[in-house]
Amino acid sequence: MKLKSLELFGFKSFVDKTLVQFDEGITGIVGPNGCGKSNIVDSIRWVMGEQSARHLRGSEMQDVIFNGTSSRSPLGMSQVALTFDLSDGRAPAGYTDYSEIQVERRLYRSGDSEYYINKVPCRLRDIVDLFLGTGVGTKAYSIIEQGRIERILSAKPEERRFIIEEAAGISKFKNRKEAALRKIESTEANLARLNDIVGEIKRQLNALDRQARKAERYKTIYEELKGRELKLSSVRYQQLREDSERLEAEGVDLSQNEASLAAKLSQVETENEREKLNLAALEQKLNGVQEKFYMQQNAVKLHETSLEYQQNKLKDLARQLEVYAKEIEEFKVKLAKSETEIESLNDQKLTHDLSVASAAERIKALEARVAEALQICNDWQSKTEKKNREMLVSVSQVAESQSRLEYLERRNIEVEGRVAKGQSEIDNIDRLRKELEEKAATSDTDLSSLKQLSFKLSDEKTQVRQDLDEKKTSLQGEIQKLEAVKNELAAKQSRLNSLQEIHNNMEGFRDGVRTVLKASEGELNGILNPVSEIVDCEPKFEAAVSAALGDKLQYVVVQSQQAGVDAIDYLRTQSKGRSTFVPLDIRGEEKNAENVEGPGVVGPLLQNVHFNDDYRQIADYLFGDCVLVEDLKDALHLWQQGPQDKTLVTLQGEVIDRSGIISGGAGVEGEILLGHKRRIEAMEKEVSEAKASVFEQEKECWHLKNQVHSLEERLESLSRDSHSEEIRIVHQEKDGVRLREELVRYNQDRDRLSMEIARCMDEKREIVAEMEKVALLLEERITQQSSMEKELACFQVELTSASEAKNQAQNYLSHAQAQLAQAQDKAEVLEREIQQWIANKLELEAGIEKRIAEINLGQNQIQQLNQSQITERAQLETAVKDLDHLTQKQKSLRIDYDALSLKIKERDGEVREIRRRHEEMVKAKHANDLKLAESKNHLQILVDQILERYKIEISHYVPQTVLTEEWNIEEEGRIINDLRDRLEKLGSVHVGAIEEYDELKNRHEFLSKQQEDLVKSLEALKRAIQKINRVSRERFLKTFESVNDKFQEIFPRLFKGGRAKLILMDEENLMEAGVEIVAQPPGKKLQSITLLSGGEKALTAVALIFSIFLIKPSPFCLLDEVDAPLDDANITRFNDMVREMTSQSQFIVITHNKRTMEKADCLYGITMEEAGVSKVVSVRLNEGATSKQPEAQVA
């Protein structure tokens, strides 16, 4: 097993995909500080399962993802893959059939992680287990850096033993032992719980045996009562269900129509929004075409300006050529005159000998004058040409500023149009908002009326209850004490039986809850407890806690959402009802019921509830916003003072929620589910005391219910009416919420338009400011251009004057030369005078040739300018065509833009019409829902009554006998009442005693068998731990001794003398004994390693690591600047040792030391050519070639 390659993408500074391949021998990694060398180490550690961001030199795990630079955007993920070659046969368990194995890890900015082994998704645990015992891993001895060396040397002896354990291959055994210990702890807890349950079941079996005989008598009467009442209720249920089905069918039709209109409204609105997006895109495209149009228009002006300049240049050259032609003619005339003078001077040569000297001096002065005039002329020529070039640039700048100013003026007009359009839309939204506000006010008024009616019904219910209490008081009279004791006994006995049934059979919970809790004993995992069993409180707070929880008492707490999903699937498969599941990591908005003050405020309800810390999040979710107050009066006062962001609960169990809805009355649903065990013990004591009193005072008191029957029926009727009003209030509140949500949406649209107008106004201000700047710049450039034109005119005047002076000086020189020649001819020998005039003639001919050459040069320039004009005109024609094309494109886009705007306006009208029809349909559906809710309420009351009495769904009940014509509802009701009286005379009876006895007996046998299995399991686990300890001790001791021997051998080799050894701190306890290192470098005393110098410590640690490698080689060893504290002599011995060990392992060395680099078979250089981005350059030393690694190629 050897390291083959490392692939990085987006890991820290390695933003581009980088592949680093490793061969056998020594691979060196070099580079300047800060270039990313240590990121290679971090990537290997990370992909092998490192979970500590601090160990990866970060504050959080997302720090390993490339975070961007000034020129590169951050990435969304980091990915590292590590590939091992398994061709040597040292493959991990389970991968012996593979030629190579690759582990890969990915991390996303969302915090999600992915792990792969050979491209197959796996867990982090699988990757960690893969490397256990191989010497490779995040904590193994295969990765050594300076900080790791310091930790090895400074660690406690007990911590230092880890590297010996890893070399011994017992890290897997330790993990297995820890898992076994956890399983033992869990098994012992299960066994203790099972012992308690078995003991409780034994006691219940004894109690049930005494109740069985009485249950037989009760059963006969109960079955007849049950059959008759179910038959009567079935008839009533069918009548109510037919009404509900009719209303449901009507509701379905209305819902379909409403859904159809809603879908159509959504479709039309979506299409409208899509068209608006298209309009925005078209507008952006139109702006882009306009920008191109203005730029092309500027290009046309630039070409025209260039052509004008070239034409002026041609005119100047033509004028200059004419001057040169005239000079040639003049030279020819002078040449003819010279020839004449030669003939004349031949006759006069004897008479002018005296004038030769003076003529020669004059010629010298004239030649200097001609040279000076020629220099001045050339200087003015250069200045004129330079000024012409500056003039061309100035003309271009003026045209550019004019074009920019025109573009800004057009943009200003467009922005003003958008502002006007936005303001129009805001006015329309304000009108719609006003209509919605009126509807919301009407809804609030209706809601207030409904609440007043609900309060009135509540007051009437209170009055009926008071009348009922007074009636009971007057009827009791003298027998009150006897009836109270008898009723107390019956109530307490019934309460005790009910509590026992709830505790043992989970009665009081819905079918779905009971099914899940029973299945949690074996078929389902992750099921913890129902909410009613995770919270507890003092008896005085039970009413408040139960009222605050309500139906949530039936919720089941699960380990995770997946456990809840599994439970739901189980209920669906078993057809055992429904249930609600709360995961431990429940999320919700933050609630705070603290800092609430006022009369009657007890404090946050959460402070009076007891629960385990494991359920803290669930408790916060259940009670976080609940405030406990003394009574309903204080609660109403506190709610009216506001703010209404808390749920108020009284000690009597009344609740006022955030919206002001009040619930309360006699009793609190679900209160029985709280504190089962505590109430059972208290109730058993009370029943025992009550029985002593019952023996002395026995008398029937069942006539009490007949006397108050009418009041109870009235109270039930009022309850139904109150429930119906509450449903109407809920629906009315939903309408109010819907209207307010729509109002919020309009407000958001208005805010968005206001922000758009503000943005447009900011843009307009920017445009105006830029227009002012451009106007000032244009004015400056025009002034500058005018100044340049004046300077150019002056330069041209000076150039003409200089040319004339030059010509005049040349004429004077020619004349003087002629006079000199004449004088010399007359003063000297005729032949010499003739030669002089010949020279003068040659000079004139040279002048002619020079002018001819200048004429040819000018003609070439004219030819070049003509060619340039042809090119410029072609470019001008192309630019004009492009400008025409952009003009046509701009017109076409403007037509499309106007057409789409009109289409959107028409579509807005269609949206408003569909929305109106949809609102009408919603109102019709709401009216139908109210009727259906009322019908279902009556139906549910009937279902609940039968379900409460007989645990039967009346909807599934089929009468055993056919109804005949003689069957009468009133007569059947009378018979049912007689049967109830007979049952009540029997007193408290546990009707399920016989069945429960058999069930408990079977359960007792089953649980006893489970006890035996758990005991056997514990014994097997303890034997496994003993075996693990024995094998671990043997392996540890054997490896320790081997490593110690090698350590004593390698230490003197690295230090050129001295001695060192490893010492076990407690040889009697090999499983926990620490490992101490003592060393004696040459010339020093034997001492603890902590007293050595930095270099000696590093070399000692290296000796220890190399000793381990010789005993159990790791597939590779990564040394990160381990050689930094070593001097030259130690570096040499260190490198020699590394080279020697390459026969057993690969070595990857990060170093700055040149000697270490020389020992490497392959060097990888880490560079940072681009700031913050690392790249790799490889040097294959055995080939002498250097290659720079591309982003996704092999280094």
Q: Which residue has the tokens 């059963």?
A: 219
**Phi and psi dihedrals of 894, rounded to 5?**
-65, -40
Which DSSP string corresponds to 73-113?
PPPSEEEEEEEEE-TTS-PPTT-TT-SEEEEEEEEETTS-E
Distance CA 55, CA 46 (A): 9
CATH code for the structural domain at 489-708: 1.20.1060.20
**CA separation for the pair 1080, 1016 (Å, rounded):** 54
Query: Residue range 955-969: average pLDDT?
Result: 64
Answer yes or no: are the C-beta atoms of 42 and 49 closer than 8 Å: no
Of 201-205, 757-761, 978-982, 1150-1154, the least confident: 201-205
The segment with the largest mean pLDDT, out of 768-777, 1064-1073, 1180-1189, is 768-777
Q: Is 47 within 8 Å of 145 (Cβ atoms)?
A: no
Q: For the chain, how many residues are written?
A: 1195
Say yes or no to pLDDT of 11 above 90.
yes
Q: What is the mean pLDDT of residues 611-636?
A: 88
Instruction: Please tell me whether residue 915 adopts helix, strand or coil conformation.
Output: helix
Q: What does the pLDDT read at residue 457? A: 77
For the chain, give every domain's residue range. 489-708
Average pLDDT score, the chain: 78
Question: 96 versus 426: which is more confidently predicted?
Answer: 426
Amino acid at 891: K
Band of residue 650 on the pLDDT scale cut at 50, 70, 90: very high
Residue 122 pLDDT level (bands cut at 50, 70, 90): very high
Report the pLDDT averaged over residues 881-901: 83
One-letter amino acid at 167 equals A
Q: Mean pLDDT across the stretch 522-532? A: 85
Question: How is residue 968 written in tokens?
Answer: 């009468």
- Give the mean model confidence (pLDDT) for residues 858-873: 83
pLDDT band at 1195 (very low <50, low <70, confident <90, very high): very low
* Number of neighbouring beta carbons within 10 Å of residue 18: 23
Share of the chain above pLDDT 70, in %: 82
For residue 437, is pLDDT > 90?
no
1049 against 1098, higher pLDDT: 1049
Least trusted range by pLDDT, from 563-577, 888-902, 989-1003, 1137-1151: 989-1003
Pair 63, 56: CB distance under 8 Å = yes
83 forms beta bridges with: 5, 102
pLDDT digits (tens, 9 = 90+) for 781-795: 788 878 887 887 887
- d(C-alpha 1091, C-alpha 1036), whole Å: 27
Q: How confident is the model at residue 1183 (pLDDT cuts 50, 70, 90)?
A: very low
Residues in contact with 704: Cβ distance below 8 Å, sequence separation at least 6, in sequence order: 472, 475, 476, 483
Write out pLDDT tens, residues 737-776.
777 777 888 788 788 888 888 888 888 888 888 888 888 8
Nearest to 509 by CA among 442, 453, 576: 576
pLDDT digits (tens, 9 = 90+) for 351-381: 555 566 676 777 777 777 778 878 888 887 7
User: Angle, to 10 degrees, between the axis of helix 480-505 and the axis of helix 356-476?
Assistant: 140
Q: Reduce the secondary structure of 596-630 to three states and give it as a string.
A: CCCCCEEEEHHHHCEECHHHHHHHHHHHCCEEEEC
- pLDDT for res 7: 94
pLDDT at 696: 60
Q: Is the pLDDT of residue 104 over 90?
A: yes
Tell me what pLDDT residue 87 has: 80
Euclidean distance between CA atoms 160 and 173, whole angstroms? 18
- Over residues 649-673, the mean pLDDT reads 79
Q: Which of 140-149, 615-624, 978-987 has the highest mean pLDDT?
A: 615-624
Residue 625 phi, psi (nearest 5): -110, 15
pLDDT at residue 1187, as a whole number: 40
Q: 80 falls in which pLDDT band (50, 70, 90)?
A: very high
The per-residue pLDDT for range 1103-1144, each reduced to its tens digit, is 888 888 788 777 888 888 888 888 877 888 888 888 888 887
- Percent of the chain past pLDDT 90, that is, above it, reads 4
Residues 1001 and 204: beta-carbon distance below 8 Å: no
Residue matched to tokens 């005109």: 873
562 Cβ neighbours under 8 A, 6+ residues apart: 526
Poorest-pLDDT segment among 386-390, 607-611, 1107-1111: 386-390
| Average pLDDT for 396-423 | 79
Q: Cβ–Cβ contacts within 10 Å for residue 769, how many?
A: 11
pLDDT, tens digit, for every residue of 484-515?
Answer: 676 666 667 666 765 666 566 676 677 788 88
Q: Return the bridge partners of 27, or none.
A: 1148, 1162
Q: Average of pLDDT values for 707-720?
A: 70
Report the candidate in 685, 667, 671, 208 with the shortest Cα–Cα distance to residue 493: 685
Task: Report d(CA 1180, CA 1162) in Å as an integer.
Answer: 5
Convert the pLDDT of each residue in 273-287 to its tens digit: 787 788 778 778 877
pLDDT band, residue 1189 (cuts 50/70/90): very low
Summary count for the chain: helices (H), strands (E): 22, 26
Region of poorest pLDDT, from 391-395, 530-534, 758-762, 942-946: 391-395
Question: Do residues 1039 and 168 make contact, with C-beta atoms less than 8 angstroms apart?
Answer: yes
Cα separation, 910 vs 827, whole angstroms? 119
Task: Decide if pLDDT at 615 tops 70.
Answer: yes
- How many angstroms separate the CA atoms of 868 and 792, rounded? 23
pLDDT (0 to 100) of residue 349: 59
Write out pLDDT tens, residues 476-486. 654 556 556 76
Q: How confident is the model at residue 897 (pLDDT cuts 50, 70, 90)?
A: confident
Phi, psi angle pair for 1119, to nearest 5°: -110, 115
Which DSSP letter does residue 14 get? Answer: B
46 vs 833, which has greater pLDDT? Answer: 46
Residues 605, 544 contacting (CB under 8 angstroms)? yes
